[in-house]
């Protein structure tokens, strides 16, 4: 895997893409985009049954992030409705998952003692491997820093672990297995990162 940070900086320099805050009007498009991303990019890491059971249950939009204005869409400057990548950060205790996922914890985190969570970063297959997912991750990290957090965590999909390791995240040693309605168990890898100056 090439250096994803370098690739994202190249894209940032082109100024061909920009960010906007997701709104409730984006829910339908985000739901479809996240499903497309998982089916297009996750099949090497999850079985068909695992994808069928988790999409729309574990993986999907978290409307609380949208209401908090901490979920974002990366799009071509010329096409604000085209979702190349999406992602967010959160000051709430829920680490991952859509509205329907188990273990929801809406309580707020304390930046003095808690890590902010980087949430639900997905790239559309048609826009993959161009540095855009990493561009989204870097943007979310920056927004978390503005929100007062210098330490981060995430619940990573298996398909994202190698990329996040390249971006400075480390496995904490904790994994979750989330049981889906169809009985399949989805493994989520807990990862952490401490921000540095000039991130």
Q: For residues 179 and 172, what is the distance between their CA atoms, to the nearest angstrom?
A: 21
pTM for the whole structure: 0.93
Whether 199 is in a domain gets the answer: no
Query: Taking 80 as the threshold, does the pLDDT of residue 197 lie above it?
Result: no
**Residue 88's pLDDT is what?**
98
The pLDDT tens digits for 116-142 are 999 999 999 999 989 999 999 999 999
Whether 130 is in a domain gets the answer: yes
Q: Do 8 and 132 touch, CB atoms closer than 8 A?
A: yes
Q: For residues 137 and 36, what is the distance between their CA atoms, to the nearest angstrom?
A: 19
Torsion of CA 15, 16, 22, 25, to 10 degrees: 150
The residue segments making up the domain with residue 64 are 4-99+107-194
What CATH number does residue 46 fall under? Answer: 3.40.630.30
**Residue 1's pLDDT is what?**
57
Torsion of CA 187, 87, 36, 167, to 10 degrees: -60
The pLDDT tens digits for 60-106 are 999 999 999 999 999 999 999 999 999 999 999 999 999 999 989 99
Whether 10 is in a domain gets the answer: yes
Whether 63 is in a domain gets the answer: yes
Q: Which of 83, 80, 75, 71 is nearest to 34 (CA)?
A: 83
The residue assigned the tokens 């930046």 is: 111
Task: Tell me the average pLDDT across 1-30.
Answer: 89
Whether 125 is in a domain gets the answer: yes
Q: What is the count of structural domains for the chain?
A: 1
């Amino acid at each position: 895997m090439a250096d994803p940070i370098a690739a994202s900086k190249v894209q940032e320099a082109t100024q061909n893409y920009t960010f906007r805050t997701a709104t409730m009007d984006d829910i339908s498009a985000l739901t479809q985009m996240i499903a497309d991303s998982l089916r297009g990019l996750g099949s090497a890491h999850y079985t068909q049954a695992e994808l069928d059971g988790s999409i729309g249950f574990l993986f999907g939009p978290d409307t609380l992030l949208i209401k908090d204005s901490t979920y974002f869409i990366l799009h071509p400057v010329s096409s604000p409705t085209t979702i190349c990548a999406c992602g967010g950060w959160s000051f709430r205790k829920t680490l991952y998952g859509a509205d329907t996922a188990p273990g929801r914890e809406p309580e707020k985190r304390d930046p003095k003692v808690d890590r902010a969570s980087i949430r639900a970063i997905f790239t559309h297959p048609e826009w993959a491997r161009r540095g855009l997912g990493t561009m989204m991750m870097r943007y979310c990290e920056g927004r978390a820093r503005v929100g007062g957090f210098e330490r981060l965590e995430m619940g990573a999909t298996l398909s994202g672990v190698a990329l996040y390791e390249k971006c400075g995240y480390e496995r904490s040693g904790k994994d979750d297995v989330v049981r889906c309605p169809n009985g399949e168990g989805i493994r989520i890898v807990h990862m952490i990162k401490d921000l540095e100056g000039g991130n």
